[in-house]
Structure 1
Amino acid sequence: PNPNRIEICITFPTEYVKTQLQLDEKANPPRYKGIVDCVKQTVDGHGVRGLYRGLSSLLYGSIPKAAVRFGMFEFLSNKMRDENGKLDSTRGLFCGLGAGMAEAVVVVCPMETVKVKFIHDQSSANPKYRGFFHGVREIIRTEGLRGTYQGLTATVLKQGSNQAIRFYVMTSLRNWYKGDDPNKVINPLVTGAFGAFAGAVSVFGNTPLDVIKTRMQGLEAHKYKSTLDCAVKIMKHEGPKAFYKGTVPRLGRVCMDVAIVFIIYEEVVKVLNKVWKTD
């Protein structure tokens, strides 16, 4: 099994809680008092399984997403390396930006829209999606294909900035660690630590975009005319703190996710370099 999928299965409840907290508008009183309350209400109402609502969407999307992200990053970075084959951090940032935007358009937008709608549906008065395929069929039946592609601008901005920040931090740390020796081997644990740090930086850097994306993909998305309109309304009605909803649960998951993904990526590249000399 793909290690990334195992990670998703372990950490998905944090993703669920993050999404619920981000969807929870400042209604009086708000549905959830915080992380613990959200977990408690979900388990009381739907059992532990309720915390895994929307999981299948991420599982189906995890492999294509990683393939598009790293494929695009390799493609771009091979064009941008200097004559010694080194990629500086600024170029790493642009390659990451391209990789994030590509994965957003091809995989992440529909995958996230379905995830958010499923999670939102579970907390609505009468949930209507029975399972993954039934839910997707319902979304397409009632809203057309556009219903699975909501919040595209916000998703492109979020994924683009996500990967730009992560690859920038990752490239900087890697270059710093290797110093003058481009062939210095990095221990997977060090790669993991660098990845977790890169993940944390991206969470603090772009959670506001994540909140906007979640709102644009929820069942109440029709309230917002555009990405900008959504940002303005959140600011006006809920204040600046609302842009950091779900930061804590997101932090845990993202750090683990990015660490694991970068370790796998580095190991795969090592193996491929042995099989095909890419120099």
Structure 2
Amino acid sequence: MSAANKGKSREKPMASLCAGAIAGGFESFATYPLESLKTRLQFGALEGGKPLTPLQALRETLNQGGTRALYAGCTAVVIGNAVKAGVRFTTYDQFKSLLKDDEGKLTAPRSMLAGLGAGMMEAIIAVTPSETIKTKMIDDSKRAQPRFHGMSDAVRTIVREEGISGVYRGLGPVILRQGANSAVRFSSYSTLKQLAQGSVVPGSQLPGWMTFGIGATAGVITVYSTMPFDVVKTRMQSLKARQEYRNSLHCAYRIFTEEGVLRFWKGTVPRLGRLILSGGIIFTVYEKTYPLFDSIF
């Protein structure tokens, strides 16, 4: 990831953690409305109504609760994404350093393996709790009388009614999604970055616009290859999940048999928009802030 270190030298964990946390927090707040719309679209059939387009979902959300409804669960995601990105970049950089060859190069398969490990770590440590809370808060915000009054109240209510497992609902699909996400995103980004570096002066950093474009392209590839995991994850973290599904496989089976295979790509448009921006923002912010923290630590 970082252009600061070459060869077999290992990136500094604290620098990776701080730069990743800043990049993740900034990116999640900037793109949250698209994440909120994606989640609402994925609930779809659970409401028993006609499937909405992204524009219809946006209008309905704003009519029901205004901008506040569009940002329901945002705090949990910003905090979770800051921790997630810090964990992701730290573990990826360490795995990457271990997997480089003697010339300091990282092949695409090894980059994918490092990304897979980073994604699984972030899923367990940060993503599942923050995603579960966010999903339940978005689901709750659609009620005429929402039960949750902020993130802390949502956490207390979920833990009181479902136990600690309530905030780890959907752990299996989250691990699959995050592992696949990071494996595809990092390997795509690494491969595209190596190709782009041939067009700049050796040893110099890529310009910000080029980093943004490479990250955005990696985001597009990631969305289409991992969308089914994301749909199952959202359904398993809904307020009705315990009544509707026995486990993640049962959830996937019901979606496939009752709603059709295309339902696994429901919410692709807002998620695509979010991950294009996300990929561009997070890689650009990380690449620009890592050297600062590298010099501090």
Range of TM-score over shorter length = over 0.9
What residue number does 1:220 align with?
240
The Cα shift of 1:272 comes to 5.2
What is the 5 A alignment of 1:90-169?
90-169=109-188
What is the 5 A alignment of 1:189-228?
189-222=209-242, 223-228=244-249
* 1:181-238 alpha-carbon deviations (Å, 9 max, x no partner): 8634311211110000000100011111100000010111112112111111000110
Decide whether aligned partners of structure 1 residues 132 and 199 sit closer, same or farther in structure 2, where only a CA change above 3 A counts: same
Note the residue ranges of structure 2 that are not aligned, 5 or more in a row: 1-20
Decide whether aligned partners of structure 1 residues 162 and 139 sit closer, same or farther in structure 2, where only a CA change above 3 A counts: same
The Cα shift of 1:65 comes to 1.0
| In structure 2, distance between residues paired with 1:29 and 1:192 | 38
Q: Is 1:260 aligned to residue 281 of structure 2?
A: yes
* 1:52-106 alpha-carbon deviations (Å, 9 max, x no partner): 1111111121221111000100111111111121111111000000011100000
Q: Considering only aligned residues, what root-mean-square deviation do their CA atoms show, in Å?
A: 2.0
Decide whether aligned partners of structure 1 residues 49 and 274 sit closer, same or farther in structure 2, where only a CA change above 3 A counts: closer
The Cα shift of 1:274 comes to 5.5
Q: Is 1:34 aligned to residue 53 of structure 2?
A: yes
TM-score by length of 1: 0.92
Q: Is 1:245 aligned to residue 266 of structure 2?
A: yes
Query: Is residue 133–residue 167 contact of structure 2 (8 Å, CA) maintained in 1?
Result: yes
| In structure 2, distance between residues paired with 1:256 and 1:157 | 22
| In structure 2, distance between residues paired with 1:59 and 1:85 | 34
| In structure 2, distance between residues paired with 1:157 and 1:195 | 21
Q: Aligned residue pairs: how many? A: 275
Note the residue ranges of structure 1 that are not aligned, 5 or more in a row: none
The Cα shift of 1:275 comes to 6.2
Query: Is residue 191–residue 262 contact of structure 1 (8 Å, CA) maintained in 2?
Result: yes
| In structure 2, distance between residues paired with 1:127 and 1:186 | 47
TM-score by length of 2: 0.87
Query: Is residue 166–residue 199 contact of structure 1 (8 Å, CA) maintained in 2?
Result: yes
| SS at 1:47 equivalent | helix
The range that moved more, 183-192 or 229-238, is 183-192
Q: Is 1:78 aligned to residue 97 of structure 2?
A: yes
Give the letter for the 1:243 counterpart: F
| In structure 1, distance between residues paired with 2:166 and 2:296 | 43
Decide whether aligned partners of structure 1 residues 144 and 28 sit closer, same or farther in structure 2, where only a CA change above 3 A counts: closer
Query: Is residue 81–residue 127 contact of structure 2 (8 Å, CA) maintained in 1?
Result: no
Q: Which has the higher contact order (CA 8 A, sep 6+)?
A: 2
The range that moved more, 256-265 or 182-191, is 182-191
| SS at 1:10 equivalent | helix
* Percent identity of equivalent pairs: 37
